[in-house]
C-alpha cells in the first residue's frame, strides 16, 4: 500500500518537511551535496559541501566511514558535531540511489524519553535531598542550642565553687603558708594552679556558649588601633615577661578610627599573645603590630616558635582543634582561645588566619573592615 | 504562568520571591501561585495545548522554587509535633505532597517528606521510627485513588491511633467519601483546609 504514489508523496513530504529526520544526499566521494531543512538546522548550513566523514566524531579513528555508508541494510549509531556546538548521536541508514547515496538519520526517540525521565527523577531527588539537608541543619542547630544551654548552665554552676576554692586556698597560702612544710605548701600551690586552669576553662566555655548561641552582643564604639592595643598591652607584657619572652609592640601612628568592641578585640589580642608565648621559649621575641590595608585594619602577632604544619593550620580555629604542636613549657590551655578569637573577629565582619612554616615561627593575623560611615 | 510555559526559570524565580516578600505568606504563595499555575498547566496539557515535556519542565521549575523558602521555613520554632508526608506508590507528582510537608514546618511541626512513588513499607518504617501525630498521603492523578485507599488501610492496620490525612489533585473530581469511610482518615482538598486542621491540632509552641 505504501508504494502508492499519493502515499509515497505524503511520506516524502512528512519526512522532508516535518519529521525530525535528517536527509543528506552524498555524492560518489561521500561529500554532502544537499540536505533537508532539519539537517541544515541541526548540522548548520556549512554541512553541505563537506565530506560526511569530516563531520563525524571519531576519537580513535577506527571508523571506516566509506564501508559503513555502503552497508545499506544496517542502522549505524554515528556521532556528529551539531550547530549547537555539542555532539549528538544519530541512528543513520544509507540508501544507494541513482545520484549517489541518501543518508537518513534521526535521534533515538526512546533514548530521549528515557533520558528525560531520568533527569526529572534526578531533579526530584536533588530537591528532596536539598529539603532534607535544610531539615537536618535545623535539627542540628536545635541540638547545638541545647548543648550550649547545658554548657552555659554547667559552666555557670561550676564557677562559684571554683571561685571559693581559689579564694580560700589563697587565704590559707597567704596566712598560714609559713607554718606549712615545703611539701604541703607545694601541694596547695598545685591545687590552686589546677583551680586556676579549671576557672580558665569554665570562662572559655561560657564565652563560647554565649557566642555560639548568638547571644554575643558587641558594644561598638569608636577606637583607633593604638587604643585597642593599649588596652591589651599591660597584661600581654606580664604574660610574656613571666616566661622570659620579650614582647615588642610596634608603635602605630594613626588617627583613623573604626567602630569596634575594643574590650572583645583586646581579649582576642591576649589570646593570640598568650598562644604565641605558649609556643616560644625563654629569650625569644613576640611582636604585636597593626597596619592599614586599604579599608581594613590588620593586627598581627608574630612569634619565633616552632611554626605550624599546613595540616594543623586548618584545625587551629575550631573549638578543641588541638594540634600536634607541643607547648614549649608543657603549659595547659583549654584549646578554645583561637576558636573564641575567630568568633569575635567574625562577629565584627572580619577574618582571622595564620601564616607559618614549620621551623620559622608563626604569624596570626586578623583584619577588621571599616564600615561605610566610618570612612573619613 | 507565562514564565513557566516559556521555561524561563529566572522570571519564575523573581515572581515567586515577589509573592513571598509581598507578605502574601508561604501558604498563599503555594496555594495561589504555585498550585494555581500548575493546575492551569495541567489543564493546558489535557487540552493538547502544550506538550508533556513542557508540563514536566513547569513542574520541575516550580519544585526548585520551593527550595528558596527553606532558609526561613526551617528556622521556625518547633512545637515537638511531627507529620510524615508521602506520595502513594505509582504517584510521581510530588510537589503537592512537598508543599503539605512544608506547611507543617511553617506551623511549627516537623514535616518529614518521603517523596514520589514511596512504598508503603517505607512509610510504615518511618512512622515507627518518628512516631508522628499524623501521616499525610498525597495523590495527584485520579487513577492512583485506589492506591490511596490501600496505603491508608495498611497504615491504619499498623498504627491504629495515628491520624491519616489524604489529599491532592486526584480528589478534584471525587473520591472523598470512599476514602473517608476508613476509620480516622480525613480528606483535605486545599492547603487552606490543611492549615485549619493544623491550627485545630496544635499550631505553634
Look up residue A56 and give its three cell numbers: 563525524
B101 to chain A: which residues are within 8 Å by CB? 131
Q: What is the pLDDT of residue A95?
A: 93
- The alpha carbon of residue A41 is apart from the nearest alpha carbon of chain B, in Å, by 21
Query: Does A123 contact B at CB distance below 8 Å?
Result: yes
Asked if A52 and A24 sit in the same domain, the reply is: yes
Asked if A352 and A276 sit in the same domain, the reply is: yes
Query: Does A130 contact B at CB distance below 8 Å?
Result: yes
Best mutation target, A126, A138, A214, to test chain B (most B CBs within 10 A): A138
Pick from B75, B92, B115: CB nearest A138? B75
Name the closest residue on chain A to residue B53, using Cα atoms. Answer: A116
DSSP readout, A218-237? ---EEE-HHHHHHHHHHHHH
Among residues A55, A79, A107, the one where a domain terminates is A107
With an 8 Å Cβ cutoff, are A138 and B67 in contact?
Answer: no
Query: Does A146 contact B at CB distance below 8 Å?
Result: no
Architecture, CATH, for domain B76-200: 3-Layer(aba) Sandwich (3.40)
Q: DSSP character for A60? A: T
B78 to chain A: which residues are within 8 Å by CB? 142
Domain around A325: 221-374
- The alpha carbon of residue B78 is apart from the nearest alpha carbon of chain A, in Å, by 9
What pairing do the DSSP bridges indicate for beta strands A296-303 and A362-369? antiparallel
Q: Are A188 and A172 in contact (CB under 8 A)?
A: yes
Query: Angle at the Cα of A289 (from A283 to A293), degrees rounded to 5?
Result: 150
Question: Complex ipTM, two decimals?
Answer: 0.83
Q: What is the pLDDT of residue A24?
A: 94
Residues of B in CB contact (< 8 Å) with A are 53, 56, 60, 63-64, 66-67, 70-71, 73-75, 78, 92, 94, 98, 101, 105, 110, 112-113, 115-116
Asked if A149 and A186 sit in the same domain, the reply is: yes
Q: Find the length of chain A.
A: 376
d(CA A302, CA A248): 10
Query: Does A222 contact B at CB distance below 8 Å?
Result: no
B110 to chain A: which residues are within 8 Å by CB? 135
With an 8 Å Cβ cutoff, are B70 and A125 in contact?
Answer: no
**Grid cell 586548618 — which residue?**
A314
The residues facing A247 across adjacent strands are A286
Kind plus residue range of the DSSP H or E element containing A99:
none
Q: What is the CATH number of the domain that holds A195?
A: 1.10.287
d(CA B101, CA B194): 11
Asked if A225 and A361 sit in the same domain, the reply is: yes
Q: Which region holds residue B168: left if phi is over 0, alpha if psi is between -120 and 50, else beta?
A: left
With an 8 Å Cβ cutoff, are B67 and A125 in contact?
Answer: no
CB-count exposure of residue A327 (10 Å: 0-12, 13-18, 19+): middle
Q: Where are the alpha helices (DSSP H) in chain A?
A: 5-17, 37-43, 52-55, 65-69, 109-176, 182-212, 225-242, 262-278, 310-313, 337-347
Q: DSSP character for B162? A: S
Asked if A121 and A83 sit in the same domain, the reply is: no
- Provide Rg for chain B, Cα atoms: 17
Helix (H, G, I), strand (E, B) or coil at B117: coil
B56 to chain A: which residues are within 8 Å by CB? 116, 120
Q: What is the pLDDT of residue B117?
A: 92
End-to-end CA distance of chain B: 37
- The alpha carbon of residue B16 is apart from the nearest alpha carbon of chain A, in Å, by 17
User: What is the model's pTM?
Assistant: 0.64
Each residue's pLDDT tens digit in chain A (376 positions)?
778 899 989 988 888 888 889 999 999 999 999 999 999 999 998 899 999 998 998 887 888 888 899 887 789 989 998 988 888 899 999 999 999 999 999 988 888 888 888 888 899 999 999 999 999 999 898 888 888 778 778 877 888 888 899 999 999 989 988 898 999 999 999 899 888 888 888 887 777 777 776 677 788 999 998 999 988 898 899 889 988 999 999 866 677 888 999 988 998 999 999 999 989 999 999 999 999 888 899 999 999 999 888 888 877 887 765 554 555 555 555 667 888 889 889 989 999 999 988 888 999 999 999 864 454 4
Q: DSSP character for B204? A: -
Q: How many domains does chain A have?
A: 3
Among residues A79, A107, A135, the one where a domain terminates is A107
- Provide Rg for chain A, Cα atoms: 38
DSSP readout, A155-191? HHHHHHHHHHHHHHHHHHHHHHGGGS-HHHHHHHHHH
Q: What is the pLDDT of residue A331?
A: 53
With an 8 Å Cβ cutoff, are A127 and B73 in contact?
Answer: no
- CATH number of B2-72, picked from 1.20.58, 3.40.50, 1.10.1240, 1.10.3470: 1.10.1240
Q: Mean pLDDT of all residues in chain B?
A: 90
Q: What is the pLDDT of residue B121?
A: 95
Query: Angle at the Cα of B104 (from B98 to B105), degrees rounded to 5?
Result: 90
d(CA A339, CA A349): 15
With an 8 Å Cβ cutoff, are A124 and B63 in contact?
Answer: yes
Look up residue A138 and give its three cell numbers: 535545623
What pairing do the DSSP bridges indicate for beta strands B110-113 and B82-87? parallel
Kind plus residue range of the DSSP H or E element containing B72:
helix B70-73
How many CB pairs (< 8 A) connect A and B? Answer: 42
Asked if A126 and A87 sit in the same domain, the reply is: no
Query: Does A128 contact B at CB distance below 8 Å?
Result: yes
Query: Does A144 contact B at CB distance below 8 Å?
Result: no
Asked if A11 and A92 sit in the same domain, the reply is: yes
Give just the sign of the alpha carbon dihedral A146, A149, A151, A157: negative
Query: Angle at the Cα of B83 (from B78 to B87), degrees rounded to 5?
Result: 140
The residues facing A303 across adjacent strands are A286, A362
Give the relative orientation of helices A337-347 and A182-212 as an angle to the nearest 10 degrees.
30
Q: What is the pLDDT of residue A301?
A: 95
Q: What is the CATH number of the domain that holds A338?
A: 3.30.565.10
Q: Are A340 and A208 in contact (CB under 8 A)?
A: yes
d(CA B60, CA A358): 52
Q: Are B151 and B123 in contact (CB under 8 A)?
A: yes
If pLDDT is split at 50, 70 and 90, which confidence band does B142 have? confident
Q: What is the domain partition of chain B in residue ranges?
A: 2-72, 76-200
Among residues A92, A107, A122, the one where a domain terminates is A107
With an 8 Å Cβ cutoff, are A131 and B113 in contact?
Answer: yes
Q: How far is CA A214 from CA A264, B163, B181, in A?
A: 15, 37, 50
Asked if A66 and A149 sit in the same domain, the reply is: no
A127 to chain B: which residues are within 8 Å by CB? 63-64, 66-67, 98
Q: Find the length of chain B.
A: 205
**Mean pLDDT computed over B91-101:** 93
Helix (H, G, I), strand (E, B) or coil at A102: strand
Q: What is the pLDDT of residue A323?
A: 52
pLDDT digits (tens, 9 = 90+) for B162-192: 999 999 988 988 888 888 999 989 999 899 9
Query: Does A122 contact B at CB distance below 8 Å?
Result: no
Amino acid at each position: 500500500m505504501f508504494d502508492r504514489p499519493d502515499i509515497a508523496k505524503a511520506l516524502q513530504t512528512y519526512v522532508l518537511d516535518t519529521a525530525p529526520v535528517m536527509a543528506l544526499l552524498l555524492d560518489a566521494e561521500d561529500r554532502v551535496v544537499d540536505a533537508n531543512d532539519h539537517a541544515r538546522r541541526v548540522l548548520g548550513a556549512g554541512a553541505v559541501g563537506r565530506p560526511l566523514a569530516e563531520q563525524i566524531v571519531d576519537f580513535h579513528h577506527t571508523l571506516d566511514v566509506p564501508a559503513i555508508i555502503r552497508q545499506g541494510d544496517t542502522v549505524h549509531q554515528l556521532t556528529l558535531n551539531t550547530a549547537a556546538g555539542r555532539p549528538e548521536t544519530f541512528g543513520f541508514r544509507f540508501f544507494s540511489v541513482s545520484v549517489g547515496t541518501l543518508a537518513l538519520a534521526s535521534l533515538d526517540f526512546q533514548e530521549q524519553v528515557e533520558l528525560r525521565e531520568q533527569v526529572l527523577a534526578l531533579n526530584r531527588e536533588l530537591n528532596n535531598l536539598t529539603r532534607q539537608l535544610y531539615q537536618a541543619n535545623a535539627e542540628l542547630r536545635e541540638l547545638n542550642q541545647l548543648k550550649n544551654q547545658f554548657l552555659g548552665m554547667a559552666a555557670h554552676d561550676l564557677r562559684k565553687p571554683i571561685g571559693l576554692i581559689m579564694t580560700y586556698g589563697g587565704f590559707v597560702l597567704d596566712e598560714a603558708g609559713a607554718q606549712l612544710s615545703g611539701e604541703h605548701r607545694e601541694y596547695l600551690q598545685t591545687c590552686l594552679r589546677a583551680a586556676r586552669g579549671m576557672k580558665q576553662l569554665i570562662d572559655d566555655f561560657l564565652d563560647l556558649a554565649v557566642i555560639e548561641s548568638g547571644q554575643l552582643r558587641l558594644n561598638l564604639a569608636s577606637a583607633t588601633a593604638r587604643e585597642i592595643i593599649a588596652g591589651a598591652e599591660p597584661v600581654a607584657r606580664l604574660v610574656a615577661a613571666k616566661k622570659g619572652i620579650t614582647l615588642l609592640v610596634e608603635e602605630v601612628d594613626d588617627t583613623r578610627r573604626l567602630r569596634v568592641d575594643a574590650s572583645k578585640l583586646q581579649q582576642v589580642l591576649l589570646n593570640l599573645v598568650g598562644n604565641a608565648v605558649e609556643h616560644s621559649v625563654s629569650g625569644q621575641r613576640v611582636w604585636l603590630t597593626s597596619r592599614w590595608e586599604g579599608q581594613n585594619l590588620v593586627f598581627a602577632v608574630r612569634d619565633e616558635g616552632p611554626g605550624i604544619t599546613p595540616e594543623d593550620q586548618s584545625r587551629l580555629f575550631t573549638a578543641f582543634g588541638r594540634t600536634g604542636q607541643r607547648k614549649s613549657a608543657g603549659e595547659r590551655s583549654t584549646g578554645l582561645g583561637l576558636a573564641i578569637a575567630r568568633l569575635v573577629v567574625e562577629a565584627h565582619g572580619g577574618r582571622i588566619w595564620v601564616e607559618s612554616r614549620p621551623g620559622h615561627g608563626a604569624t596570626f593575623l586578623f583584619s577588621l573592615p571599616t564600615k561605610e560611615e566610618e570612612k573619613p | 504562568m507565562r514564565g513557566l510555559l516559556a521555561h524561563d526559570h529566572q522570571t519564575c524565580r523573581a515572581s515567586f520571591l515577589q509573592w513571598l516578600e509581598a507578605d502574601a505568606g508561604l501558604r498563599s504563595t503555594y496555594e495561589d501561585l504555585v498550585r494555581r499555575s500548575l493546575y492551569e498547566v495541567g489543564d493546558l496539557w489535557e487540552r493538547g495545548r502544550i506538550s508533556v515535556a513542557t508540563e514536566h519542565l513547569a513542574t520541575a521549575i516550580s519544585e526548585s522554587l520551593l527550595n528558596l523558602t527553606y532558609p526561613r521555613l526551617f528556622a521556625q520554632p518547633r512545637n515537638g509535633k511531627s507529620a510524615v508526608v508521602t506520595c502513594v506508590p505509582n504517584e510521581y507528582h510530588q510537589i503537592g505532597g512537598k508543599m503539605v510537608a512544608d506547611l507543617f514546618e511553617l506551623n511549627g511541626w516537623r514535616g518529614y517528606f518521603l517523596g514520589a512513588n514511596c512504598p508503603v513499607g517505607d512509610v510504615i518504617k518511618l512512622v515507627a521510627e518518628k512516631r508522628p501525630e499524623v501521616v499525610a498521603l498525597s495523590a495527584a492523578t485520579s487513577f492512583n485513588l485506589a492506591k490511596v485507599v490501600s496505603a491508608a488501610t495498611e497504615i491504619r492496620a499498623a498504627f491504629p491511633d495515628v491520624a491519616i490525612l489524604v489529599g491532592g489533585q486526584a480528589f478534584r473530581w471525587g473520591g472523598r467519601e470512599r476514602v473517608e469511610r476508613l476509620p480516622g482518615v480525613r480528606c483535605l482538598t486545599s492547603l487552606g483546609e490543611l492549615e485549619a486542621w493544623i491550627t485545630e491540632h496544635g499550631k505553634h509552641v
